[in-house]
């Protein structure tokens, strides 16, 4: 059971700029609270529009205990529905992905149109009003080929995010891409540790040799830890991107999101073992293979890289307090041909290795946090994005739990 | 000095002029002593005497080798171009001029694959037409995509001949792009871009490209070919000095800052290790006959009597000539004091 006062007390103990109190990472009840306060409330990255290109294409996911189906209807609109039959609740679409003319419940074959309306319910009486039993919709927004999903009745405003990131991402033309590879990793760690790990590169030097062949460890153009060559590299690359009309300066996303274009190491073009191109057919209408990467993060569950030749999306969904699913998709130009323009292994090996290393780090972090000696520890200056994230998270939880009120009777 | 005879210039008699567009004409010449051996795509340097001044200009041969006793060049009259305007306005059928040996590496024979794209802008279509005519003579089934850009529909080169070739060549596809279309134009419009290529020539990245046109056009075409997944070694361009010089050769650390002493006949000048003999001579107002200044036409061929140079050319000199210690002044940088002679 969720004890809102307990959450409020833990939040009161929290120190800004420190890792979270133990309970946030370990308690199953806190997992339930996270699902309610964050995952059933906020906009979540669900999948890519290019994964459901044609009418009837669908993809399923589970948000906490909520099965959801995202599909493209007959008019080409992206829609999301709770994947639960209005008869007796059975899950309708069982596959992770597919194409359907209609959604048919496997239990008693209630038939739903792609717009969610109930078309047929056999053996129901003549006076049964099907219009009362359409699938329950969820909110969706498509931003630069990314499908965001919100299960809340009244979703938060996404317009600032949409406006800020579109100039960065639109030139990569994600609508003209296809999935070259996808992979789901189940990590033995709380979802917040997966995000925290992703939000800093303090750990990179010792752990990610493959990634660091191309990625620069610095998160800001004026990073004080960056060597003089880094400043010079930034100056050169940003001058070129300015000439191409490609934005690069960090967007003002506050705690909610981050978007910035940063260069790779000198000579590197893509996330490959040698820094060379991963796909020789460039995205969109690009003719310059050296566009660094647009690094975009949005709380709570998604980070991305947009390159000249491929796009990588990462989606985090919590499974329990100590288990998290990480889905990674690699997108290339829709006309790129495997074995000609790209090799899947070359395209994916850096981030597959990096994901596995990060998974190990997160699970080791999770195990260590179980210690009776665990106390929240301070973030380094280079971990400033963890402060952003934990502040964002704390605000969500405060809104959910309400102010600490020791005398108040628990709401439920 | 009679550099021409040394460099093997031929007498060319103009036998026909064909207007192609309002500012492009095809000049058909009969070389004295027969047509020299050449490959489709090669070019020739003309030696023209205008008002007592000798000018060297290099043009692609538009004709296919092995067809009769003439050669043809399709030449645009450039507004500021003295030589091209003289050709258009003054040269008459029956007149003769001089032309050097056909040269250049931009040849259809150098192709490595069988799926071709011939991509041109303006009069850059000329060497590509030579290639297409040659393929029509030798390999009718060739898989060829022809992409040609010009300003207006009336500026399109060779539309009639291309239509005729399409009747004979089942795998020839033709796309024309007008940057300034007019009513009645049913071809593509705009400028070369990936978006245009994705509809006009969607498999460009899968083809071996021969490209000729203004430098900016060829740069863009090269980037698009690469961005479409094309391999760099399957992209060939023709250029006449308009493009950046060959990659600079590393200069030895012990090269004298003042430069090396160069003797050229009875003249003396200095050349730094980082400049070509031609650049150094021109800087010091010493004339070495030259054409393209980019190592293609062979006009500035001189004999290396003494000393060492580093040469990086573009096919304007044969291996035999190199073995006989000839060099191209435009493509050679001194590595020591040097004596050269015509």
**B258-292 residue pLDDT tens:** 889 999 988 899 999 989 999 999 888 888 887 77
**A365-380 residue pLDDT tens:** 999 999 999 999 999 9
| Integer Cα distance of A241 and B146 in angstroms | 33
**H/E run at residue A119:** strand A118-120
Three-state secondary structure readout of B150-162:
ECCHHHCCCHHHH
Hey, are the CB atoms on B205 and A280 less than 8 Å from each other?
yes
Quick one: which of B145, B168, B165, B147 has its CA closest to B156? B147
Average pLDDT over residues B204-232: 95
* pLDDT for position B32: 94
| Integer Cα distance of B74 and B25 in angstroms | 6
| Integer Cα distance of B252 and B231 in angstroms | 33
| Integer Cα distance of A176 and A162 in angstroms | 19
Q: DSSP assignment of A244-271, as one string?
A: HT---SPP--TTTEEEEEE--STT--SS
For chain A, say whether B163 makes contact (Cβ under 8 Å). Answer: no
| Integer Cα distance of B242 and A309 in angstroms | 31
To the nearest whole percent, how much of chain A has pLDDT over 90? Answer: 92
Average pLDDT over residues B17-23: 96
**B24-45 residue pLDDT tens:** 999 999 999 999 999 999 999 8
Q: Which of B193, B220, B229 sits opposite A281 (nearest CB)?
A: B229
Buried b (16+ CB within 10 A) or exposed e, B81-98: eebbebbbeebeeeeebb
Residue B133 has pLDDT above 80, yes or no: yes
Q: Which of B194, B202, B206 sits opposite A287 (nearest CB)?
A: B194
Average pLDDT over residues A59-69: 98
Question: What contacts B40, CB < 8 A, 6 or more positions away?
Answer: B61, B64, B65, B107, B108, B109, B127, B130, B131, B133, B134, B135
**B64-109 residue pLDDT tens:** 999 899 999 999 998 777 899 999 999 999 999 999 889 888 999 9
For chain A, report the end-to-end CA distance as a whole number of angstroms. Answer: 9
For chain A, say whether B18 makes contact (Cβ under 8 Å). Answer: no
Residue of chain A with shortest Cα separation from B223: A287
* pLDDT for position B252: 66
Mean pLDDT over the full length of chain A: 95
Hey, are the CB atoms on A281 and B228 less than 8 Å from each other?
yes
Q: Within a 13 Å sphere around the CA of A349, how many CA atoms are in the beta-carbon half? A: 13
What ipTM describes this predicted complex? 0.81
Instruction: Count how many pairs of residues, chain A against chain B, have C-beta atoms within 8 Å.
Output: 36
Q: Is A341 exposed, middle or buried (0-12, 13-18, 19+ CB in 10 A)?
A: buried
Edge to edge, the sheet with strand A257-262 lists: A177-187, A323-333, A311-320, A302-306, A293-298, A257-262
Which residues in chain A touch residue B229, judged by CB atoms under 8 angstroms apart? 279-281, 336-337, 340-341
For chain A, say whether B190 makes contact (Cβ under 8 Å). Answer: no
Quick one: which of A130, A149, A133 has its CA closest to A85? A133
| Integer Cα distance of A262 and A241 in angstroms | 10
Mutation site for B-interface testing, chosen from A285, A309, A337, A339 by largest number of B Cβ within 10 Å: A285
Hey, are the CB atoms on A287 and B226 less than 8 Å from each other?
yes
DSSP code, position A196: H
Q: Is A190 exposed, middle or buried (0-12, 13-18, 19+ CB in 10 A)?
A: buried
* pLDDT for position B247: 47
Mean pLDDT over the full length of chain B: 90
φ, ψ at A240 (rounded to 5°): -65, -45
Q: Which residues pair with B115 in a beta bridge?
A: B143
* pLDDT for position B157: 97
* pLDDT for position B253: 66
For chain A, say whether B229 makes contact (Cβ under 8 Å). Answer: yes
Residue of chain B with shortest Cα separation from A308: B227
Could you identify the residue written with the tokens 């293979």? A289
Hey, are the CB atoms on B229 and A340 less than 8 Å from each other?
yes
The answer to whether B324 and B306 are in contact (CB under 8 A) is: no
């Amino acid at each position: 059971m969720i004890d809102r006062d307990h959450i409020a007390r833990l939040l009161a103990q929290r120190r800004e700029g420190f890792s979270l109190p133990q309970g946030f990472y370990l308690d199953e009840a806190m997992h339930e609270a996270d699902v309610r306060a964050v995952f059933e409330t906020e906009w979540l990255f669900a999948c890519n529009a290019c994964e459901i290109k044609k009418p009837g294409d669908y993809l399923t996911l589970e948000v906490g205990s909520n099965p959801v189906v995202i599909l493209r209807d007959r008019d080409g609109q992206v829609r999301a529905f709770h994947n639960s039959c209005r008869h007796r609740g059975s899950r309708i679409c069982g596959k992770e992905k597919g194409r359907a003319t209609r959604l048919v419940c496997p239990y008693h074959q209630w038939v739903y149109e792609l717009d969610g309306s109930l078309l047929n319910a056999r053996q129901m009486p003549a006076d049964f009003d099907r219009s009362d039993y359409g699938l329950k919709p969820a909110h969706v927004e498509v931003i630069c080929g990314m499908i965001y999903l919100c299960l809340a009745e009244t979703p938060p405003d996404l317009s600032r995010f949409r406006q800020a990131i579109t100039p960065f991402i639109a030139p990569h033309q994600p609508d003209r891409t296809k999935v070259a590879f996808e992979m789901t990793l189940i990590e033995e760690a709380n979802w917040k540790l997966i995000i925290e790990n992703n939000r800093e590169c303090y750990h990179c030097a010792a752990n990610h040799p493959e990634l660091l062949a191309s990625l620069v460890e610095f998160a800001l153009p004026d990073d004080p830890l960056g060597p003089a060559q880094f400043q010079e590299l930034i100056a050169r690359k940003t001058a070129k991107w300015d000439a191409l009309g490609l934005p690069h300066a960090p967007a003002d996303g506050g705690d909610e999101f981050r978007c910035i274009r940063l260069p790779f190491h000198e000579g590197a073009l893509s996330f490959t073992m040698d820094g060379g191109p991963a796909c020789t057919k460039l995205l969109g209408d690009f003719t310059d293979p050296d566009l660094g990467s647009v690094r975009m993060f949005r709380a709570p569950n998604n980070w991305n890289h947009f390159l000249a030749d491929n796009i990588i999306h990462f989606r985090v969904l919590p499974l329990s307090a100590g288990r998290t699913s990480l889905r990674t998709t690699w997108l290339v130009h829709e006309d790129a041909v495997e074995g000609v323009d790209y090799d899947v292994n070359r395209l994916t090996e850096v981030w597959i290795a990096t994901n596995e290393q990060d998974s190990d780090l997160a699970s080791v972090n999770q195990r260590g946090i179980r210690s009776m000696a665990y106390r929240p520890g301070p973030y380094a200056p280079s971990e400033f994005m963890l402060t952003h994230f934990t502040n964002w998270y704390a605000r969500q939880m405060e809104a959910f739990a309400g102010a600490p009120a020791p005398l108040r009777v628990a709401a439920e | 000095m009679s550099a021409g005879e040394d460099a093997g210039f031929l007498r060319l008699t103009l036998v026909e002029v064909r207007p192609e567009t309002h500012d492009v004409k095809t000049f058909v010449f009969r070389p004295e002593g027969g047509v020299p051996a050449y490959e489709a795509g090669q070019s020739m340097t003309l030696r023209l005497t205008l008002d007592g001044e000798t000018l060297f200009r290099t043009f692609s041969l538009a004709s296919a080798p092995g067809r009769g006793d003439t050669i043809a060049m399709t030449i645009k009259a450039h507004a500021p171009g003295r030589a091209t305007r003289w050709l258009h306005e003054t040269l008459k059928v029956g007149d003769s001029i001089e032309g050097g040996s056909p040269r250049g590496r931009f040849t259809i024979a150098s192709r490595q694959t069988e799926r071709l794209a011939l991509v041109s802008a303006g009069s850059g279509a000329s060497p590509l037409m030579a290639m297409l005519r040659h393929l029509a003579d030798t390999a009718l089934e060739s898989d060829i995509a022809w992409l040609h850009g010009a300003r207006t529909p009336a500026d399109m080169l060779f539309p009639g001949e291309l239509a005729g070739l399409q009747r004979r060549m089942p795998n020839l596809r033709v796309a024309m792009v007008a940057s300034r279309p007019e009513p009645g134009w049913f071809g593509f419009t705009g400028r070369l871009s990936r978006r245009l290529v994705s509809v006009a020539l969607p498999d460009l990245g899968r083809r071996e490209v021969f490209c000729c046109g203004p430098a900016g056009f060829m740069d863009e075409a090269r980037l698009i070919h690469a961005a479409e997944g094309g391999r760099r070694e399957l992209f060939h361009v023709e250029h006449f000095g308009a493009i950046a010089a060959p990659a600079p050769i590393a200069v030895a650390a012990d090269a004298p800052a003042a430069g090396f002493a160069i003797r050229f006949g009875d003249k003396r000048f200095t050349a730094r290790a980082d400049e070509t003999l031609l650049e150094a001579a021109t800087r010091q107002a010493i004339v070495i006959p030259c054409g393209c200044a980019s190592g293609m036409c062979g006009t500035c061929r001189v004999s290396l009597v003494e000393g060492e140079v580093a040469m990086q050319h573009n096919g304007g000199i044969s291996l035999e000539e190199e073995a006989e210690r000839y060099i191209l002044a435009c493509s050679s940088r001194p590595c020591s004091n040097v004596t050269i002679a015509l």
